[in-house]
Structure 1
Amino acid sequence: MSGLSPDDYRRAAGYRRSSAAPASPPARGNAVPVMAYNTYDLNDPALLDFMRDGRIGVVGEAANERMALRNSTFFRAMSLICGSMGMLPVHLMRRKANGETEKARDHPLFNVLHRKANSYQTASQFKAYMQFCALADGNAYALKVKSRGAVRELIPLPRRCVKPCLSDTFKLTFEYQPKIGAKRTLSQDEVFHFRSPLSLDGLRGVGLIDVCADTLGLAMKAQQAAGRLLTKGSMARGALETKEVLGDETIERLKQSLRDNYAGVEAEDDWMVLEEGLTAKLFASNARDSQLKELMQHEAEEVSRFTGAPRPLLMFDETSWGSGIEQLGLFFVTYCLMAWFVIWEEAIWMCLLTEEEQNTMYAKYNEQALLRGSLKDQADFFAKALGNNSAWLSPNEVREAFDRNPRPDGQDLPRPGTTAAQVAEEDEPEPGTPPARRKKETA
């Protein structure tokens, strides 16, 4: 960095003087000088982002998470995917010797995945944050805290501070650069890692902010253009012409009148009073001809393609919802979230279970919360599941789906002429019998 001025060194070290606050005079008396700098540690990954100014797109705009999340479509897609993955429960399952499966509630990892990931994050908060890291950066890392051979906590590692490395003998390690201290090498057994479906080297995933930097930059340019149209008064509809020579005072007074009354967001929709023989000449084009709205709509559609979220779920109002809401939920689960379900389940199986446990245990996402239809649809579904001729759900399993306590006689599948069918027949009143009336309760 030879040949740089002191200000260049400060900028390279992460110091930025606030543009809103001018340099303050020397402190007098007991006055305390105001520090108008944002400081970064030399090992802080934010310093690298500041120096390289994010991901530069074709329009010259730097794409980073702060700019990306200001895009309403990108924010909605990220919150939708991260919120859904954090909301849906993931259970640790065990396959018994007789082939049946059960929830492994007695295993310490069950509560880590289902209740509390660490001392400051619930399971849903942990999953939502890790999902955001995997979407934005392409990778998500967490440190495994073990006790007695089992994982007791999962602590997320800082973003962009971990780098996976594969040796010549195909041994996987992770280089971790903490914000304070020297770089550390973590073994594969110490890190919980999963990545986005796409990868260029088989180790690190491809982040959304990297691949859609051009789209986000162009969308930001469109937003800036819309802002300039409103704040700078560039929506000129015509020009003022005259054959006379206008003096400087007249021109300045006319400009001031235009700025005060007909420019900016508070512009008056009124007639202009012209002077000195001026005539108005309308332009052939106006702000609507620039098709700015169509450009912004196109960029919103581009963002939806990158994220994979259905357009109606991103609040595009040109699509009718109606009875298609169930199909939208199915589309969202099948073509957007299903890949992440598999990625999470395989990462939990591979990184958080021992080799012995991998033979009988696995993780399972429960996506049924997103696929539930109306009460009528659920009633029809469970009625068929409890059908006499081909029942495949027991009454207690149906009651569990609605968070109701099991019944002693509800464990077996209904059979023709018995159990649920017989109870239903016994409960039916005889023909011609009036319905029983409930007695009024007395105090």
Structure 2
Amino acid sequence: MSDALGPGSILAIVALGAVVVLAVLLLRRGTGAGAAGEGDLLARLYVMLERETAARTADSEAQRARLAEIERVLAARLDQSRAETADRLATIAQSITRDLGDARVRQGEALREMAEASARQLETIRTAVNERLHEAVERQMQTSFQRVLEQFAAMQKAMGEVTAMTAQIGDLKRLFSNVKTRGGWGEAQLRAILDDVLPAGAYQANCRLREGSAEVVEFAVRMPVRATTPPVLAIDSKFPTEAYERLLDAVNRVDAEAERAARRALETTLRIEARKIASKYIVPPVTVEFAVLYLPTDGLYAEVARLPGLLDEIGRTCRVIVMGPGLLPAMLRTIHLGYVTLALEERTDGIARLLGATRQEMLKMDGVLERLARNASAMSSSIDEARRRTRVVARQLRGLDGVESLVPEGAGDDAAAWTGETEFNGA
């Protein structure tokens, strides 16, 4: 701050510059005696300038001294402020430290009280849980023991039912040992499936396919086609129980050789039955080009399907499709869908005929409307003519109003008669 130029220094420099400029100008103009007078003037100016410069320098020194004093005072005040701030900060730090200590003490006491309360609550909860758990365990044990007793009674009852079922299975085996009875059971099951899926009258039972032949197929399903005599699909039920039971017995005994022999026997039986069906029940055009061999149980069908290439070979050589209870309903639903499609086509034909008749009626209605339009046109012409005559009569009546104003008072009757005659003539 002491090195900075004050206002006095700046004015001194400006004055010195002005004197120098004036001296230069005087030196350029001065010649002879005038030059001596101007030199004297220049000397006086120089003296004045030195005095002014000294005064300005003293003023600058005084300002520097004042600035130094102000700087010293400000530094002292700043030191004092720093000391006061440090004291206040120390006081605040002591207060905060004291408050933190008190807060730690209070927090420790609160935590200790919370821990004691939590311990008491946990002990209460543990006691209640132990009591309830003991009660629940006792109740569960009683319930479990009761359930065990009930299950044991149910198991005894089931064992009795199993014994009875075993006896019934033996009766069923004896029943199925009869070929005719076994075939009747398969036929009844097949009839139930046909009744469930197909509409009424869609199949015929014990149908003779060839005239003069004694061979009848169990079921002949009429195919949904447009024909006077639609072809039928022959379905015959077979239940080779002996071969199937030998196969199951070999599987249960884990006898690989007996299992292979039983599978060969089952395969041979299926081939023979397929050839019989092909020779007896495939009679085009009375029947379609294939027939169905129905196996009454899914287990038997699964074992037949496991025989490699058997189903494909029977279908290719004999044109016989082997199906079980799981596959036959799907094919029958397809046939039923054909019946629905055929009914829709018949409905469509009926709708087409109805639309044709409606079109003819619309054409007739168009002729009637045309005649009605001509009559309406003639009626419109008659109405226009009547309106024209009405306007003529109205004009005549307006002329009659002018005549009545000229008739004397005693000639009222003659005027009325003349008016009536005029109206008659106008009409």
Q: Give the shorter-chain TM-score range.
A: under 0.3
Structure with bigger helix share is 2
Larger gyration radius, structure 1 or structure 2: 2
State the structure with bigger RCO (CA 8 A, min sep 6), 1 or 2. 1
Output the TM-score relative to the length of structure 2.
0.21
Output the TM-score relative to the length of structure 1.
0.20
Structure with bigger strand share is 1
